[in-house]
Amino acid sequence: MTSQPRTETSTGPGARQRTVFLLAHTGRPAAVRSAELVVLGLLRSGIGVRVLAAEAADLPLPPSVETVPEATPDVLDGCELLIVLGGDGTLLRGAEFARASGVPMLGVNLGRVGFLAEAERDDLDKVVDRVVTRAYEVEERMTLDVVVYDNGDVLHTNWALNEAAVQKVAPERMLEVVLAIDGRPVTGFGCDGVICATPTGSTAYAFSAGGPVIWPEVEALLMVPIGAHALFAKPLVTTPDSVLAVEVEPHTPDGVLWCDGRRTVTLPAGARVEVRRGSVPVRLARLHHASFSDRLVAKFALPVSGWRGAPH
């Protein structure tokens, strides 16, 4: 993960207008109000705003805001930043746009935890000011490349920022799996599923399943069993160059693969899911230099009042 300071570019006559893409959860009244405030602040500073046509219909936007069709690969062409307003689901949706375009994503949390977000709802004025003055840095986050094999043939390919989760489909039946690291079997058991996660995803689904919190600067891969019926069913942390594999036993019911809880495919009995470090990172815009420890305490409201260490 690297941080890169933004540099000033020409704003004189003939310079191309700066443009920011805005993505919002328009089903939330708070997101609609926040989007209006951000758009008006950017426009007043001479920065163009682009939104999806499907969302523009639900937002009170001035006619100068550019609209584009949804889900085309080039919707962020010419944009310097992607601002996302919403909860974790909206931020993960924004990550899809950010990864495909290489444009940094700046998340504003309108949900509950929001580890991918850099700002909260009360920070909208600060967000606009930092965007206008380019007072932010860009950090790269590791992703996962995911391949599903069936009888040796590639059945499906996908990617994830947080996690790739192999899960059972039938609630009354366990999923029988064998886990492997770098081509060598490690263990097998019946379970509800197995999560393969990045450090970014260690505070998401993997955390809920009992996995460790991994600082984002650490380059590693994480494998966390869900409800395993076995003595050796602990989370495993490997090098970032390892290949994690989850094989669905031939005699077990079909499973399902979820990537970031958004993209899914059915896993037939006997399927093999391989997960490795992604070839394309997601770039996140950062406004603050606060440590991840402080972020962790704030997001989970952790009790630290007894700390008597030196003040910072």
pTM above 0.75, yes or no: yes
The predicted structure's pLDDT at residue 42? 96
Count of domains in the chain?
A: 2
Active-site residue (options: 77, 88, 145, 153): 88
Per the domain annotation, does 158 fall within a domain? yes
Quick count: other Cβ atoms within 10 Å of Cβ 50? 20
Pairwise CA distance, residues 180 & 96, whole Å: 28
Structure tokens at 204: 């998401």
What is residue 270's three-state secondary structure? Answer: coil
Q: Which residues contact 252 (CB under 8 A, 6 or more apart)?
A: 173, 174, 175, 176, 177, 269
Last residue in a domain, options 95, 122, 141: 141
Same domain, residue pair 167 and 130: no
121 labelled as ligand-binding? Answer: no
Same domain, residue pair 151 and 103: no
162 labelled as ligand-binding? Answer: yes
57 labelled as ligand-binding? Answer: no
149 labelled as ligand-binding? Answer: no
Last residue in a domain, options 119, 141, 163: 141
Same domain, residue pair 134 and 74: yes
182 part of the active site: no
Same domain, residue pair 187 and 255: yes
Quick count: other Cβ atoms within 10 Å of Cβ 179? 22
Q: Give the CA-trace dihedral at 237, 225, 157, 265, to 10 degrees.
A: -160
Q: Which position has the higher pLDDT, 73 or 139?
A: 139
Smallest CA-to-CA distance from 38 within 24, 54, 17, 27 is with 24
Predicted confidence (pLDDT) per residue in 98-150, tens digit: 999 999 999 998 877 778 888 888 889 999 999 999 999 999 999 999 999 99
Per the domain annotation, does 194 fall within a domain? yes
pLDDT bracket for residue 72 (50, 70, 90): confident
Pairwise CA distance, residues 1 & 163, whole Å: 17
What does the chain come to in residues? 312
153 labelled as ligand-binding? Answer: no
Same domain, residue pair 149 and 129: no
pLDDT bracket for residue 15 (50, 70, 90): low
192 labelled as ligand-binding? Answer: yes
Quick count: other Cβ atoms within 10 Å of Cβ 95? 27
Per the domain annotation, does 4 fall within a domain? no
140 labelled as ligand-binding? Answer: no
Predicted confidence (pLDDT) per residue in 214-265, tens digit: 999 999 999 999 999 988 899 999 999 999 999 999 998 889 999 999 999 9
Structure tokens at 238: 């490997």
Pairwise CA distance, residues 118 & 100, whole Å: 20
Same domain, residue pair 166 and 74: no
Give me the domain span that covers residue 72: 19-141
Predicted confidence (pLDDT) per residue in 135-146, tens digit: 999 999 999 999
Per the domain annotation, does 185 fall within a domain? yes
Here the CATH number for the domain that contains residue 251 is 2.60.200.30
